[in-house]
């Protein structure tokens, strides 16, 4: 049975989410501060984390950083601020989705289902490794290699380059990439795509003259193979 970690310092929110999530046939564990969240994450075999940003002890972004050091477990962030900065930063650190407070519990359930569906699609994808000249992208173990050497990159950068390289020469808009890689349809912030592309280019600049991450002005991006 899938197990979900709920992290929020508001016990009423935790209890509400617990009731709705367990109605879906899932197990839940609850933490009310950042340190307890990390402790439970390391102890429990979890399939998803619902993580508030504003927490005592350690904030949600610090907890997310700790999670991403060892795991690609899906994480849905909760934010009361509704500020673009928080959303973009959370996504850049490796969050899979976010929900702005106040929210309805059924919205969380819908986001959870979408995250689980995308995770299952990735696991069932028959293509696990994409290779081009001097580059290898392994989505099974989240490894990006250049000339056989592992390049340090967070999960979302690897997912983004993997998705683009899996569809060579195909142009994708920012919104399409948000939907396919982050799972956001129309309510994401397209700037996070630009930030991830910029970081990937910095890491892959000059690696090969046979392919490149190309900007299609006024449209989006593509993995151009020459």
pLDDT 10s digits, 9-68: 999 999 999 999 998 888 999 999 999 999 999 988 888 999 999 899 999 999 999 998
* Domains in the chain, CATH or no CATH each: 3-123 (3.40.50.2300), 126-225 (1.10.10.10)
Contacts with 117 (C-beta within 8 Å, 6 or more apart), sequence order: none
Q: How far, rounded to the nearest angstrom, does the alpha carbon of residue 75 sit from its chain's CA centroid?
A: 7
Gap between the Cα atoms of 49 and 66, Å rounded: 13
Gap between the Cα atoms of 55 and 34, Å rounded: 6
Gap between the Cα atoms of 140 and 30, Å rounded: 29
Give the SS3 label for residue 76.
strand
* Per-residue confidence (pLDDT) for residue 117, from 0 to 100: 75
Residue 186 has pLDDT above 50, yes or no: no
Contacts with 20 (C-beta within 8 Å, 6 or more apart), sequence order: 105, 106, 108, 109
Angle (deg, nearest 10), helices 105-124 and 11-23: 60
pLDDT 10s digits, 160-175: 999 999 899 999 999 8
Q: How confident is the model at residue 120 (pLDDT cuts 50, 70, 90)?
A: low
Gap between the Cα atoms of 162 and 213, Å rounded: 12
* Per-residue confidence (pLDDT) for residue 82, from 0 to 100: 60
Tokens 């994808």 correspond to 125
Q: Are 93 and 68 in contact (CB under 8 A)?
A: yes
* Per-residue confidence (pLDDT) for residue 188, from 0 to 100: 55
Question: What's the predicted TM-score (pTM) here?
Answer: 0.61
Residue 126 has pLDDT above 50, yes or no: no
Residue 132 has pLDDT above 70, yes or no: yes
- Give the pair of three-digit tokens for residue 34: 């950042």
Average pLDDT score over residue span 207-215:
92
Gap between the Cα atoms of 117 and 147, Å rounded: 33
Gap between the Cα atoms of 179 and 188, Å rounded: 8
Q: Quote the percentage of the chain above a pLDDT of 90.
A: 42
Q: How confident is the model at residue 182 (pLDDT cuts 50, 70, 90)?
A: confident
* Per-residue confidence (pLDDT) for residue 197, from 0 to 100: 93
* Per-residue confidence (pLDDT) for residue 226, from 0 to 100: 84
Contacts with 206 (C-beta within 8 Å, 6 or more apart), sequence order: none
Residue 149 has pLDDT above 50, yes or no: yes
């Amino acid at each position: 049975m899938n197990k979900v970690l709920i992290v929020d310092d508001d016990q009423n929110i935790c209890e509400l989410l617990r009731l709705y999530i367990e109605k879906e046939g899932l197990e839940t564990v609850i933490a009310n501060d950042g340190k307890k969240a990390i402790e439970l994450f390391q102890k429990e075999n979890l399939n998803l984390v619902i993580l508030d940003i504003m927490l005592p002890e350690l904030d949600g972004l610090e907890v997310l950083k700790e999670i991403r050091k060892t795991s690609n477990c899906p994480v849905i962030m909760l934010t009361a601020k509704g500020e673009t900065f928080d959303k973009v930063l959370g996504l850049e650190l490796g969050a899979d989705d976010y929900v702005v407070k106040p929210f309805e519990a059924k919205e969380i359930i819908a986001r959870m289902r979408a995250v689980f569906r995308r995770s299952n699609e990735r696991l069932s994808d028959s293509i696990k490794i994409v290779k081009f000249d001097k580059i290898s992208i392994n989505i099974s173990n989240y490894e990006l290699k250049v000339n056989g050497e592992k390049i340090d990159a967070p999960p979302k950068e690897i997912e983004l380059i993997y998705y683009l390289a899996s569809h060579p020469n195909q142009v994708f808009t920012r919104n399409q990439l948000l939907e396919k890689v982050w799972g956001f349809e129309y309510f994401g912030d397209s700037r996070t795509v630009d930030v991830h592309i910029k970081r990937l280019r910095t890491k892959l600049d000059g690696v090969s003259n046979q392919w490149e991450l190309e900007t299609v002005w006024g449209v989006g991006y593509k993995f151009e193979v020459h």
